[in-house]
Structure 1
Amino acid sequence: MKYFNTAGPVNCKDHYCLPPLSRFNLSEILGLISQKKYFVLHAPRQSGKTSCLLALENYLNASGSYKSLYINVEAAQVARNNVEKGIFAIINEIQRRIELSGYDDDSQRIVKDLCDPHLSLSALNSALTRLAELSPLPLVLLIDEIDALVGDTLISVLRQIRSGYDSRPDHFPSTVILCGVRDVRDYRIHSDTEQMIITGGSAFNVKAESLRLGNFSEEEVRTLCLEHTKETGQIFTTKALSTIWDLTSGQPWLVNALAYETCFKLEHGKNRDNPITDTMVEQAKDNLIIRRETHLDQLADKLKEERVRRVIEPILTGDLYEGMLRADDIEYVKDLGLITQAPNGEISISNRIYQEIIPRQLSWESQSGMALKQAWFVDDDGRLNILKLIREFQQFFREHSESWIERFQYKEAGPQILLQAFLQRIVNGGGRIDREYGLGRTRTDLYLRWPLPDGTVQRIIIELKILHKSREKTIEDGMKQVMKYIDRCGADEAHIIVFDRRPEVPWDEKIFREKRELEECRERNRVPVVIWGM
């Protein structure tokens, strides 16, 4: 039986899959190869890069026009700045792949005499020269995980490939494709030997193009899921398919992981007579996040990087801080797959799952350290007492915010992170919190859904704002924004929390609570809004 793949390259015999060669513009790639170009193919981790490269290797070898060889240089990562060790690891990988690919020539002729310490600065160049000269057809070399290399080893690899460029195609690979998470232009490589930062663009200035492997389209998500229906007869409801797309925005690993969790892990989903519903998909999403699956854990680890913080933090707060955003940081975080940028320049978190996992991860220690009992905030009728909950947080924030926020790497987003940790601690195992934030929004919106005993859902909107203008202007802006959100969600309750971070203002002035009801609220039967100051 086939299944949804969540680890390693896709094997279409064993996995539900989209044809790998359909994932990129094959005619464009073949055009670059015919022009003997060197270029980059990059995409975030677990997007299907390796699957596409292996499929391209098979396609080119079957064409009869090229000899293609795939190598993965990740094993050389441990060498770091030990160039000799790193280059020899890559040469051994070339030898291993030659043997696996069934070259007619003796592979020892490729690596003979190259494992000499005195040749490390040219050994890779010599190996590729011999490989090209032994090939009866133009050689296309596919190098995977190139940006796993670090320091002087990476610099040496890029320079040795560059130095053979003018000898192609008779004495050097006709085309080299570098594949990794980032574009080579984003490499900032510290050289111990030269005691300086070398950029990838200078070390590899023969790059003709940089191609990016995109996410699945909504139609491709549907096609992949329906492979399961063809195999088993188990259907996905229209809402389930929409929810998978809505949660993932087509990120390949997330799509496969959600579908696998739903169809092969959930007890209800394993019964092929049961249709896959949106509720089951949401449950699968929660399971993945709670288990902190490897992909999500790797994502969380990237949040610790300063370049990532400079981009993610203003998105979480909705505010821009002077000098915080840099163009190369934005490109780097885009390459990691954490953000997307619209044609108008607007930057946002890539998908709903990342929107949830990022603040959860940043507040993980805070959640663990809060001794809160859910039952204390649930009334006898099963409703979440949000007034009681926010009032408790208001006091908690007054007493502990300075010490808690000081622990955060993302200090500017500290109030938002702390509140979300507080809410998540209560809501875990019961309701759901959807988060909406983006650069320039000047706010963070939380949409809390709490299931009630009668089968209905309590819907609560909480808008978070940092006081920059006057209190009244901040509240006025917040009221306009929250009214639109109330209409969209059909909320039962709405709250605006205003964080006043001015150190000179005493707490007695910061702390307040009031209820606002605009004239149009009464006219359109909208719920009143409770304003909280902290």
Structure 2
Amino acid sequence: MKRFFNTAGPTIPADHYHLDPLYRIDWEEIQHLIASKRYFVLHAPRQTGKTSTLLAMMKALNTCGDYACAYANIEGAQAARGDETQGIPAACDAIVASISRYLNRQDISDWYYQHKQELNSQHLLTGTLEHWAKLSNKPTVLLLDEVDALVGDTLISLLRQIRAGYAQRPEFFPQAIILCGVRDVRDYRMQQPGQEVITGGSAFNIKAESLRMGNFTQEETRDLWLQHTQATGQMFDDAIFPELWEDTRGQPWLVNALGYEVTWKNREARDRTRLISLVDYQQARERLIYSRATHLDQLTDKLKEPRVHRVISTLLSGEDEENLNLISVDDQQYVEDLGLITTRPSVKISNRIYQEVIPRELTWVAQTRIPNQEQSWYINDDHSLNLPKLLEAFQQFFREHSDTWCEGFDYKEAGPQLLMQAFLQRIINGGGRISREYGLGRKRTDLLIEWPRDPEQGMYGPLQRVVIELKIQRGGLDTLIKNSLAQVYDYQQQVGADEAHLVIFNRKKGVSWKKKIWHKQAAYQGHKIAVWGA
């Protein structure tokens, strides 16, 4: 069977193009922590290869012969929610099954089911791990996956039972335990109605380290794709790889999903003698975004969480003063742990695909319900896009609907920016492309519209490029325009745009629409820039 790009479940080396999981982590450090009898955390965003890495670690540890290592996924205990009488037995069932499966220790399973009913749930995990360590002729190592899926008393009890046995290692408790999940243990927040929040750090204060798995590097991203060339002989246009890096920044699922899309979902590319071109890649990228695949759907579902909302809404609105104080260090770290943002060298959404998907998803309903707007209304005889006509239509639409629609968005703070993007997406969809630039402290949103000048060649022929910069008016209008023109000009030059527009939203209460809606021409260094009020 031919290998392919993996987009679901743990990597199977015989079936999937892959990178050695142990090279993606500091394997030497992990071995040192295990030898030093440490308990620690390994965390990473979803679908970045955590399970594949844990399975590879277990295989390596058991192969070396120094340890008896078992991997267990305890996500099933999540169904018990905060009921530890159900949750802890469910977690122990999974652990014992793994010990039996991976280490061929049926005796541990037999003992467990003989004594399960005798042990209180508050001692069941401690007793089980103690029995395993006591009967093992090698130090035991336990790799627990999806720990942060547990909640409430179930999670508190699990952490505290591990802590209770810690002093007895390695003779009567595992020499090392690795907790794995999306979040660091300090961010395990456990609360029952009417009770104070208990954090994982307080329930599990024996943690030695928190290790985070990163994305692929740019070189690793390229190497993974070139495994397809090595296996099939099919070549990629070199122009693809810089785009692949900017689109994904090495996010493993995105890298694999785009690889699968371009090498298999594209039927013509199944002819392995055919060069995969930049056009093929760009088409695959658009299909992936429009597919609303499971990974992207899970990503947008996270946007509903209050802690995520506080961070992402501030990024989308570009603020750094009024809203910055709403973002705690914990919130920002949590959103980074989810893989939605990066914080160095500055806080921004992680990659170009996420930058596009997030506003699209936040405005999806709005896009489908914007009335009386057709793409054909804004196409000139030469097939170019008539931006002045389009922006005039948006001004009228914004005047009629902004109060209702902006209030309807979950992300009200960025309501005007999102509503304009929804309006543009409604018109541009299926014809051109919108790219977005925004980030904390920018105080603006930059949009780049790319529109095909030749309908037959589409997006892969000559393009009309238009820059639109969005601003919220704070303070004097003349000063804002003066300062903004330089920014618009710089962005226009950076992307090689044919024309540029500045849109300023006035959200001050009591200001009439007659004063809000206006249009004038400005210039900067001899270049015309249209300025619009809304």
Shorter-chain TM-score tier:
over 0.9
Distance 1:419 1:269 in 2: 37
Distance 1:85 1:176 in 2: 22
Distance 1:198 1:397 in 2: 45
1:205-243 Cα offsets, whole Å, 9 max, x none, are 000000000000000001000000011111111111111
SS at match of 1:9: coil
Q: 2:522 aligns with which of 499, 503, 516?
A: 516
Task: Determine the structure 2 residue equivalent to 1:355.
Answer: 355
Task: Determine the structure 1 residue equivalent to 2:200.
Answer: 200
Matches within 5 A, 1:97-176: 97-104=98-105, 106-116=107-117, 119-176=120-177
Answer whether contact 2:61 2:67 (CA < 8 A) is retained: yes
Task: Determine the structure 1 residue equivalent to 2:34.
Answer: 33
Distance 1:2 1:309 in 2: 39
Answer whether contact 2:133 2:174 (CA < 8 A) is retained: yes
Instruction: Using the TM superposition, give the Cα deviation of residue 116 of structure 1 relative to its aligned residue in structure 2, in angstroms.
Output: 2.1
Matches within 5 A, 1:204-223: 204-223=204-223
Q: 1:214 to 1:327 in 2, by over 3 A?
A: same
Q: 1:327 aligns with which of 319, 326, 329?
A: 329
1:100-138 Cα offsets, whole Å, 9 max, x none, are 214245133441444327611110110111111111111
Indicate the larger mover: 482-491 or 256-265: 482-491
Residue identity opposite 1:468 in structure 2: R
- State whether structure 2 residue 465 is matched by structure 1 residue 465: no
Instruction: Using the TM superposition, give the Cα deviation of residue 473 of structure 1 relative to its aligned residue in structure 2, in angstroms.
Output: 1.2
Matches within 5 A, 1:248-267: 248-267=248-267
Gaps of 5+ in 2: none
Task: Determine the structure 2 residue equivalent to 1:474.
Answer: 480
Indicate the larger mover: 113-122 or 380-389: 113-122
Task: Determine the structure 1 residue equivalent to 2:316.
Answer: 316
Task: Determine the structure 2 residue equivalent to 1:3.
Answer: 4
Task: Determine the structure 2 residue equivalent to 1:58.
Answer: 59
SS at match of 2:45: coil
Distance 2:27 2:213 in 1: 11
Provide the TM-score with structure 2 as the length reference.
Answer: 0.96
Distance 2:214 2:156 in 1: 27
Distance 1:472 1:222 in 2: 48
Instruction: Using the TM superposition, give the Cα deviation of residue 379 of structure 1 relative to its aligned residue in structure 2, in angstroms.
Output: 1.4
Answer whether contact 1:241 1:278 (CA < 8 A) is retained: no
Matches within 5 A, 1:236-247: 236-247=236-247
1:302-349 Cα offsets, whole Å, 9 max, x none, are 000111010001111111224221111001100000000015xx2000
Answer whether contact 1:114 1:123 (CA < 8 A) is retained: no
1:412-438 Cα offsets, whole Å, 9 max, x none, are 100000000011111111111110000
Q: 1:309 to 1:104 in 2, by over 3 A?
A: closer
- State whether structure 2 residue 361 is matched by structure 1 residue 336: no
Residue identity opposite 1:190 in structure 2: Q
Task: Determine the structure 1 residue equivalent to 2:268.
Answer: 268
Residue identity opposite 2:199 in structure 1: T
Task: Determine the structure 2 residue equivalent to 1:407.
Answer: 408
Q: Matched residue pairs, number?
A: 525
Task: Determine the structure 2 residue equivalent to 1:305.
Answer: 305
1:332-376 Cα offsets, whole Å, 9 max, x none, are 100000000015xx2000000000010001101100111321111
Distance 2:115 2:479 in 1: 72
Instruction: Using the TM superposition, give the Cα deviation of residue 143 of structure 1 relative to its aligned residue in structure 2, in angstroms.
Output: 0.1
Answer whether contact 1:133 1:170 (CA < 8 A) is retained: yes
Residue identity opposite 1:477 in structure 2: N
- State whether structure 2 residue 235 is matched by structure 1 residue 235: yes
Answer whether contact 1:84 1:117 (CA < 8 A) is retained: no
Distance 2:146 2:231 in 1: 33
Distance 1:110 1:488 in 2: 68
Distance 1:476 1:138 in 2: 69
Distance 1:36 1:204 in 2: 16
Instruction: Using the TM superposition, give the Cα deviation of residue 52 of structure 1 relative to its aligned residue in structure 2, in angstroms.
Output: 0.3
Task: Determine the structure 1 residue equivalent to 2:500.
Answer: 494
SS at match of 2:274: coil
SS at match of 2:107: coil
Residue identity opposite 1:342 in structure 2: R
Answer whether contact 1:340 1:350 (CA < 8 A) is retained: yes
Task: Determine the structure 2 residue equivalent to 1:182.
Answer: 183
Distance 2:497 2:428 in 1: 17
Residue identity opposite 1:76 in structure 2: A
Residue identity opposite 1:388 in structure 2: K
Distance 1:514 1:450 in 2: 24
Distance 1:208 1:294 in 2: 34
Instruction: Using the TM superposition, give the Cα deviation of residue 444 of structure 1 relative to its aligned residue in structure 2, in angstroms.
Output: 0.2
Indicate the larger mover: 24-33 or 80-89: 80-89
Q: 1:279 to 1:397 in 2, by over 3 A?
A: same
Answer whether contact 2:70 2:103 (CA < 8 A) is retained: no
Indicate the larger mover: 280-289 or 61-70: 280-289
Distance 2:103 2:442 in 1: 57
Distance 1:151 1:104 in 2: 31
Task: Determine the structure 2 residue equivalent to 1:451.
Answer: 452
Residue identity opposite 1:183 in structure 2: D
Distance 2:470 2:118 in 1: 61
Gaps of 5+ in 1: none
Answer whether contact 1:442 1:465 (CA < 8 A) is retained: yes
User: What is the Cα-based RMSD across aligned positions, in Å?
Assistant: 1.3
Instruction: Using the TM superposition, give the Cα deviation of residue 283 of structure 1 relative to its aligned residue in structure 2, in angstroms.
Output: 1.5
